[in-house]
Amino acid sequence: MGTHDPRRLIPRTDRLLSHPELRLARARLGSDVISSLVQQVQDRARSGEIAPEDVEPQILAAVSSRRATSLRTVLNATGVIVHTNLGRAPLSQVSREALLTAAGYVDVELDLATGTRSGRGIGARQALLRACPAAESALVVNNGAAALLLATTVLAGPGEVVISRGELVEIGAGFRLPELIESTGARLREVGTTNRTHLRDYEAALGDRTGCLLKVHPSNFRISGFTSGVEVHRLRTLADRYHVPLVVDLGSGLLEPDHVLPDEPDVASALDAGADVVIVSGDKLLGGPQAGLLLGRAEVIDTLARHPLARALRTDKLTLAALEATVSGPVTPVVAALHADPVRLRERTEALARAVGCAVVEHDGRVGGGGGPDVPLPGWAARLPERAALPLRTGDPPVLPRVHDGACLVDLRCIPEDDDEQVTTAVLAALERPGDVPGLEGS
């Protein structure tokens, strides 16, 4: 490096790290993150990408904008309520407060009155049983797949899991139910055909090697036309006759019937029909954190809870706290969006359209997460040019619209009304992004 090499002017690391703003930022980001940011900006100056005098300002800018987590809050303007790519169910305010409470030391496994160890997650289980009186007991594990894994491992063991061919589903990210079950060491005994399965098909498969009967709700797909299946109450008669447990995996997390989703199965009805165990997810229609819920007969749930695998699949204190608050608390954001008033949605959408100068179009929302795949949720959307989608997604805060048929659609169903002003500001900023074509003609 020569005498006049400008790289000699790059500020020294120790001087930069002693800057008052960086010293304060250590409490928020940690020393390692601060040191890494300093090195990255210095390296840019060494390569000639930026001038030496720009090093300190750019470090300060990077530190001020850096968050403790890489995750960013996104405003969901797609109209899809349980959006897997956005973390599925948004938690209610009381659930978020419960997370903060559980973040410190809490009595998750301690009886404060006696000072002795207590059962884990008692509050969450009690809340579930209050919300679903048809269940005698409940168990919480870390997700729906874990719940099914536990149930088939314990109840079927090396034996057979009898299931209809029409229920051997694949869901998101290539997850296949048959592969999950077979990973437990159990053997799948497929019955019936893809489109039609009868009670006699199940009965012909039952025998000494049968571990359990399994019925799975197909969630995010439908086979229509020449079809037939076997209801839970009819499978109950076979389960009693052959003394095998009946497991029902519903997936979406509806605890009781909902008139908006008339064909969506619910936990209470499945238990009343005779299921020994019903499995659902906590972060779908229930509107809570990611969790796998097993509800059913006390004897069966206790057997599952005592198995060593239950320890490996157990949830942490944060999930238990958020789940209890979700089930015991007020209406969740998921339920509110599901039952959103179309008239009020139109009023809000028209206000947005007036502010940005665009059209309002009819737009059906969706449940998402495998729930009610054929059920449209009538609503409205602001119709913007397709070019607005990218600046909306990359803005601050990011707004995720739906791109469809050459247009960018902004649906307010899943956005709290208090955030409408943020959406309006974001849309205006997106339309003014340099390089965009001005105007909204044809929108």
Q: Where residue 190 falls among pLDDT bands split at 50, 70, 90?
A: very high
Residue-level pLDDT at 285: 96
Is 1 a residue whose pLDDT tops 60? no
Summarised one tens digit per residue, pLDDT across range 316-363 is: 999 999 999 999 999 999 999 999 999 999 999 999 999 999 999 999
Residues 74-110: tens digit of each pLDDT: 999 999 999 999 999 999 999 999 999 999 999 999 9
Per-residue confidence (pLDDT) for residue 371, from 0 to 100: 86
Q: Write down the pLDDT at residue 87.
A: 95
User: What would the pLDDT profile of 65-78 be if each residue is shown by its tens digit?
Assistant: 888 888 899 999 99
Q: What is the average pLDDT across 118-128?
A: 94
Contact assessment for residue 124 and residue 289, using Cβ atoms and an 8 Å cutoff: no
Amino acid in position 219: S
The arithmetic mean of pLDDT across residues 11-34, rounded, is: 90
pLDDT at residue 324, as a whole number: 98
Q: What is the pLDDT of residues 298-315, one digit of tens each?
A: 999 999 999 999 999 999
Band (pLDDT 50/70/90 cuts) for residue 220 is: low
The answer to whether residue 440 scores a pLDDT higher than 50 is: no
Mean pLDDT of 397-419: 97
pLDDT at 208: 92
Whole-number average pLDDT of the chain: 91
Question: Could you state, in order of their start, the residue ranges of all structural domains in the chain?
Answer: 6-63, 75-83+336-431, 91-330
Closest CA to 312 of 98, 129, 176, 143: 143
> Which of 3.40.50.970, 3.40.50.300, 3.10.150.10, 3.40.640.10 would CATH assign to domain 91-330?
3.40.640.10
* Residue range 75-83+336-431, CATH number: 3.90.1150.180
pLDDT(433) > 80: no
296: left (phi over 0), alpha (psi -120 to 50) or beta: left
Model confidence over 276-298: pLDDT tens digits?
A: 999 999 999 999 999 999 999 99
Output the pLDDT for position 215.
Answer: 96
Query: What band does 4 get if pLDDT is binned at 50, 70 and 90?
Result: low
CA distances from 400 to 83, 354, 408 (A): 11, 20, 10
Query: Where does the pLDDT of residue 435 fall: very low under 50, low under 70, confident under 90, or very high at 90 and above?
Result: very low
Res 185 pLDDT > 90: no
Q: Which of 139-153, 217-231, 233-247 has the lowest mean pLDDT?
A: 217-231
Q: Give CA–CA dist 48/67, Å, rounded.
A: 27
Specify the pLDDT at position 278.
Answer: 98
Task: Reply yes or no on whether the pLDDT at 247 is more than 90.
Answer: yes
Q: In the block, which residue shows the tokens 């165990």?
A: 277
pTM, rounded to two decimals: 0.87
